[in-house]
Amino acid sequence: MTVPIRISDEERELVSLARKGDERGFAGLVRLHQRRAYIVARSIVMTHEDAEDAVQDGFLRAYQALDRFDPGQTFAAWLNRIVANAALDLARRRKVRNAEELSEAIPDVFRDPAEGGELRERLEAALAQLPDRVRSVIVLHDVEGFTHAEIGEMLGIPGGTARSDLHHARQRLRGLLGNLKG
């Protein structure tokens, strides 16, 4: 089934302005998409600060590649893939630089760590044990509601692999969290 491309008139106008070099166009696109871009980046990297860095890097890459944007697709899908690539690059660099420390780290969250208590801490520890891609898939699916196909496109994997990663993530989390419900 072909999913119709939904692109608003406002977005089309902003893309057109940005491609002509009008900074107001790109500023408008940033305003429209920065929240979702943050979520995409945050699902891949381990910290709020790294997510911000990846978002900034992703928007810069998008700005510099505007002439290669195909107006036949949505700007959001194109941007999300670029941001995901920026986040994956950052995650790889972090891993290479500090592999041992990262493997033992508990994710640094933006919100108050005391909020949510023990269950939250256990979830954080369990998520830290998941492979990066598997963790990204469950977060993108459950937090923001991306489909398997959208996640696959963002992470450069087939939709079926995203589906299988999601299933794997649920199994691993159930195993790691044990009696969470109790």
Partner 1 sequence: MDMEDRTDLQPNDEGDAGVTGLLRDLYAPPAEGAYWEGLHSRIMANVDRNRGAVIPVNWWSDLASWTGPGLAAAALLFVAAGILWSRQNDEDLRTTYEAVTEPVASDVLPGAVQVVTAPHDGSSQREATFRYVLSH
Tally Cβ neighbours within 10 Å of residue 39: 18
Position 5 contacts partner 1 (CB under 8 A): no
* Residue 42 binds partner 1, judged by CB under 8 A: yes
- Whether the CA torsion 37, 116, 49, 125 is positive or negative: it is negative
Nearer to partner 1, 100 or 118 (CB): 118
- Verify binding: residue 110, partner 1, rule CB under 8 A: yes
Contacts of 169 (CB under 8 A, 6+ apart): 130, 134, 135, 137, 138
173 interacts with partner 1 by CB under 8 A:
yes
Stretch of residues binding partner 1 (CB under 8 A), selected from 7-15, 93-101, 108-116: 108-116
Nearer to partner 1, 34 or 74 (CB): 34
Stretch that binds partner 1, among 7-15, 59-67, 98-106 (CB under 8 A): 59-67
CB contact at 8 A, 32 and 11: yes
Measured from the CB of residue 146, what is the shortest distance to partner 1 in angstroms?
A: 7
Return all residues near 118 (Cβ < 8 A) that are at least 6 apart. none
Q: How close are the terminal C-alpha atoms of the chain, in Å?
A: 42
Q: For residue 6, state whether it binds partner 1 (rule: CB under 8 A).
A: no
Does 71 interact with partner 1 (rule: CB under 8 A)?
no
- How far apart CA 103 and CA 133 sit, in angstroms, is 15
CA dihedral for 39, 41, 47, 49, sign (positive or negative): negative
Q: Site residues (CB under 8 A) for partner 1?
A: 23, 26-27, 30-31, 34-35, 38-39, 42-43, 52, 55-57, 59-65, 68, 82, 85, 109-111, 115-116, 119-120, 123-124, 127, 138-139, 142-143, 145-149, 159, 163, 166-167, 170, 173-174, 177, 180-181
